[in-house]
Structure 1
């Protein structure tokens, strides 16, 4: 994994796992670039989770692990979306890890 990703002509620093080094570098295009690297195309459903994570992080200053994420999504978006099966269809590499990376957040606590 490169130490930078190119977004809109700018080089943004990322750590060895591909998470943004500086949370303030995030813009929606970051998620699109990262998704392309994973051969994913972001849909409105993906964005719903990415935006949810960004709001969650803003409020609690922590990236939620998958169990917490699932529960919080269920509370806000309903049981159809608040389950790991749904979240794994969107983010096959692990909903918490992959979605947090796209959202420009640090790696969730408790994720290996």
Structure 2
């Protein structure tokens, strides 16, 4: 695994908000963006009895996000995603050039 970036947090902390856990369990949420690396491709994690597997990890710019990405994050639109992120992190600005780690996952078959 030496070609993968170092983890900055436990995969157990990838998705914590109750509504987002429910969206993931329903198959509606398939992505999670974080400032750090929480899980590597092929790694499994569990949310309230449902097992998931990370299918991809990619470095992306916030400015490259689309409404489709926001929906895969569990939000109705990019605007609602951006508004919530800014409310959750007072003082943060939405910089389209900021890099985040996009974690892609699915329910484990």
TM-score, with length taken from structure 1: 0.32
Q: Which has the larger strand fraction?
A: 2
Which of 1 and 2 has higher RCO (CA within 8 Å, sep 6+)?
A: 2
Q: Which has the larger helix fraction?
A: 1
